């Protein structure tokens, strides 16, 4: 079987970006799940490393519960486990992706879930939440940040990437609204980076860290 080219991977991503509904996006990921990691390696996918590295600045490794929002195949979970985070839970809207993540046997709990809807977790139950490559066109709406704030303990950390059309005014408007509501405070912002550096097309993104209040 021939190796995937970066262009093929970008075309697959654009299929998801152009999806008409969350259900359609999930179905695309279901069909892509077996090849997803190989494809993303081919474009030098940087979101998980960027988000994980920012998390380590503020949340020390250990047994405190960390939620991996939009788990996918578990790339983020593998990185966090290697860094010493031992109590990782996750959810994803794609059953195919969740199956791949479960096979790695690194998550304490995995369940179906979708950002933009109420999550199946209690208030204030995580020391930190991370979301890598999730807040972008055709994936999760920015309103999904409300749920990440809800399930994160006061003074816990919410670390995530923002990409494509959400960057700039769209995200900043949402961030300021949550700040005015006393829900979180900003503690860190990365420089903009290319989340697919080996592809011909640059997908410009940014990572952020907030503390829940």
* Under-70 pLDDT residues of the chain: 1-33
- Tokens found for residue 196: 């697919």
pLDDT at residue 202, as a whole number: 86
- 3-class DSSP state for residue 28? helix
CA atoms within 13 A on the CB side of 176: 6
Cα angle: 93, vertex 101, 158; to 5 degrees: 65
CATH number, domain containing residue 140: 3.40.50.150
Nearest by Cα to 88 from 50, 126, 47, 55: 126
Tell which phi-psi region holds residue 44, choosing left (phi > 0), alpha (psi between -120 and 50) or beta: left
Burial 130-160 (b: 16+ CB within 10 A, else e): bbbbbbbebbbebebbbbbbbbbbeebbbbb
Contact 87, 108 (CB under 8 A): yes
Do the domain assignments include residue 119? yes
Do the domain assignments include residue 100? yes
pLDDT at residue 199, as a whole number: 82
Do the domain assignments include residue 56? yes
Contacts of 151 (CB under 8 A, 6+ apart): 67, 119, 121, 122, 123, 124, 125, 126, 129
Overall number of domains in the chain: 1
pTM of the model: 0.88
pLDDT at residue 24, as a whole number: 64
pLDDT at residue 2, as a whole number: 45
Task: Tell me the residue range of the domain where 202 lies.
Answer: 6-212
Q: What is the average pLDDT score of the chain?
A: 88
Nearest by Cα to 139 from 157, 159, 119, 165: 165
Nearest-angstrom CA–CA distance, 96 and 135? 20
Query: Per residue in 175-207, pLDDT tens?
Result: 999 999 999 999 999 999 999 898 878 889 999
Do the domain assignments include residue 1? no
Question: Residues, the chain, total?
Answer: 213
């Amino acid at each position: 079987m021939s190796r995937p080219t970066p262009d093929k991977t970008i075309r697959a991503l654009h299929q998801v970006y152009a999806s008409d509904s969350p259900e359609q996006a999930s179905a695309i990921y279901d069909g892509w799940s077996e090849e997803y990691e190989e494809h993303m390696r081919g474009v030098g996918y940087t979101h998980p490393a960027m988000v994980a590295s920012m998390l380590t600045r503020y949340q020390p490794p250990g047994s405190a519960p960390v939620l991996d929002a939009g788990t996918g195949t578990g790339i983020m979970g593998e990185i966090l486990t290697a860094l010493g985070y031992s109590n990782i839970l996750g959810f994803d809207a794609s059953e195919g992706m969740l199956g791949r993540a479960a096979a790695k046997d690194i998550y304490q709990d995995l369940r179906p879930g979708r950002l933009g809807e109420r999550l199946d977790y209690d208030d204030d139950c995580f020391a930190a939440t991370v979301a890598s490559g999730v807040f972008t066109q055709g994936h999760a709406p920015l309103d999904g940040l409300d749920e990440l704030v809800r399930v994160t303990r006061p003074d816990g950390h919410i670390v995530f990437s923002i990409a494509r059309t959400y960057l700039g005014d769209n995200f900043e408007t949402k961030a300021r609204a949550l700040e005015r509501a006393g829900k979180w405070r900003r503690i860190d912002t990365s420089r903009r980076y290319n989340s697919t550096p080996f592809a011909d097309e640059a997908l410009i993104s940014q990572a952020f860290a907030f503390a829940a209040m």
